[in-house]
Amino acid sequence: MTARRVRKLGAVVLTMGNRPAELRALLDSVAKQRGEPVEVVVVGNGSPLPELPDGVRTVELPENLGIPAGRNVGIEAFGPGGCEVDAILFLDDDGFLPNDDTAELVREAFNADPRLGIISFRITDPATGTTQRRHVPRLRASDPMRSSRVTTFLGGASAARTEVFQQVGGLPDEFFYAHEETDLAWRALDAGWMVDYRSDMVLEHPATAPSRHAVYHRMVARNRVWLARRNLPAPLVPLYLGTWILLTIARRPSRQALRAWVGGFKEGWTTPCGPRHTMKWRTVWRLTRLGRPPVI
């Protein structure tokens, strides 16, 4: 695979307009990155934007389109498929880049490995310096300081070549929230790209629980079904979803959470999930070799 050299970086920041101080701090940390300045697009997802620094591109959406659709709007703000830049950073609006060499590390990583399509950063809690286990995108997550190849990434602390979007498309708009990164990662892996988790690329972000979102349990279940329907070979769909049924029950969710999960699971089977792209069996084997076979 021949990938073009990464020089010019963009950054997409999605915001609901409710964290102006944190957003400003994040943008300041991006502006302080060494090397060629990073072009920034801030997308107001159904909300007006606060006053922002000069040079920041802005898009105000009239309604909340969800995380993947909002980020796709940010990508297109850099031209079709993000063509005005070579790679795009995706950063949560309450995150912060504590180091000024992150952009340079991103450039170096992409240029050193022409197969590398997506990078997942290490997320640390600014109060404690710790990394939550769920923020390490692999099954063996006990050592967050170990960088490795992975099969998914963290959407609000990542970077991707724009060539990936131009080849396999953007994030799945339909998902709104949850599992959209895995859908894109699987399509990228199927096209021959690789995904890395890099512990030396750090985004500070307050420790939170994903279940803080009211729609969490429903979206997780619905999108898990959609993910399987869109991407997996038919024999693997029941294996993948059966495994996640057992894991969900083993975690002993509350009755209310389980009811929402079951409703989302049913919704995943009865509603359109977008176009189907069945991954190749060699991609299934690649995922397995990377430690995450697509049955879990």
The pLDDT-based confidence of 215 (bands split at 50, 70, 90) is confident
196 and 259 co-located in one domain: no
User: Tell me: the pLDDT tens digits for 78-113?
Assistant: 999 999 999 999 999 999 999 999 999 999 999 999
176 and 254 co-located in one domain: no
Q: How far apart are CA 81 and CA 187, in angstroms?
A: 15
260 and 123 co-located in one domain: no
Q: Tell me how far apart the 2 most distant CA atoms of the chain are, in Å.
A: 53
In this predicted structure, the answer to whether residue 190 has a pLDDT above a threshold of 90 is yes
- 3-class SS at 225? helix
- Compute CA 265 distance to the chain's CA centroid, rounded to the nearest angstrom: 22
Does residue 263 form part of some domain? yes
In this predicted structure, the answer to whether residue 211 has a pLDDT above a threshold of 70 is no
Q: What is the mean pLDDT of residues 188-202?
A: 98
187 and 95 co-located in one domain: yes
Does residue 85 form part of some domain? yes
Pairing outcome for strands 116-124 and 148-150: unpaired
Looking at residue 207, what is its pLDDT? 86
Against a cut of 0.85, is the pTM above it?
yes
The pLDDT-based confidence of 214 (bands split at 50, 70, 90) is low
In this predicted structure, the answer to whether residue 210 has a pLDDT above a threshold of 80 is no
Of 147, 174, 208, at which residue does a domain stop?
208
Q: How far apart are CA 77 and CA 139, in angstroms?
A: 35
Does residue 259 form part of some domain? yes
Q: What's the structural domain count of the chain?
A: 2
Query: Rounded to the nearest 10 degrees, what angle do helices 180-190 and 216-231 cross at?
Result: 20
**The tokens 């340079």 sit on which residue?**
104
Does residue 285 form part of some domain? no
Q: How far apart are the first and last CA of the chain?
A: 29
Q: What is the mean pLDDT of residues 202-222?
A: 84
- Over its C-alpha atoms, the chain yields an Rg (Å, rounded) of 18
In the chain, % of residues over pLDDT 90: 94
Angle at 155 between CA 149 and CA 157, to 5 degrees: 80
Does residue 98 form part of some domain? yes
129 and 197 co-located in one domain: yes
125 and 149 co-located in one domain: yes
User: Tell me: the pLDDT tens digits for 277-293?
Assistant: 999 999 999 999 999 99
Please list the alpha-helical segments (H only) found in the chain.
Answer: 20-31, 67-76, 102-112, 162-168, 180-190, 216-231, 236-250, 255-270, 281-289
Does residue 156 form part of some domain? yes
70 and 171 co-located in one domain: yes
Of 1-15, 62-76, 153-167, least confident by mean pLDDT is 1-15
Dihedral-angle region of residue 173 (phi above 0 means left; psi in -120 to 50 means alpha; beta otherwise): alpha
Q: How far apart are CA 294 and CA 239, in angstroms?
A: 9
135 and 270 co-located in one domain: no
Amino acid symbol at 125: D
Provide the mean pLDDT of the chain.
96
In this predicted structure, the answer to whether residue 179 has a pLDDT above a threshold of 70 is yes
The range of the structural domain enclosing residue 226 comes to 214-278
Q: What is the mean pLDDT of residues 8-18?
A: 96
229 and 114 co-located in one domain: no
